[in-house]
Amino acid sequence: MATATLQVRIDSDLKQETESVLKSMGLSMSTAIHLFFRQVINQGRIPFDIIAAPQLNEETRRAMDDAMRRFQAGMDGQAEKAGFASEDDVAAWITESRHEEMTR
């Protein structure tokens, strides 16, 4: 089997982190790339899902902005007015709001 050289430009930090993980698994960068290519051929596709980071809808964004305003008001010594006594209260309120949104 003839070999070919593949040259790729990549962020040096990403390369170093990847090499470290691969080394811990007993793999070289070359072997990992070879495995990736084999899986592309075997599966006829990229062998993992590529998913964009979830985007917040407008209602969730407004709820988070409202929570932040209320929390900041509490940070200014107006906790009772804000309705939150701590960051945990804000997180709980956001979680509850998102749950309500998802069950509608």
Residues 45, 8 share a domain = yes
Do 7 and 42 fall into the same domain? Answer: yes
pLDDT tens per residue, range 28-62? 999 999 999 999 999 999 999 888 777 778 888 88
Give residue 68's pLDDT.
79
Q: Are 29 and 18 in contact (CB under 8 A)?
A: yes
Clarify whether residues 62 and 93 are in a common domain: yes
Would you state the pLDDT for residue 70?
Answer: 77
Tens of pLDDT, residues 5-31:
999 999 999 999 999 999 999 999 999
Residue 2 region by backbone torsions, left for phi larger than 0, else alpha for psi between -120 and 50, else beta: beta
Shared domain check, 46 and 63: no
Q: In terms of pLDDT, which residue wins out, 1 or 27?
A: 27
User: Considering the entire predicted model, what is its pTM?
Assistant: 0.50
**CATH code for the domain in which residue 37 is found:** 1.10.1220.10
**56, 64 Cβ separation under 8 angstroms:** yes
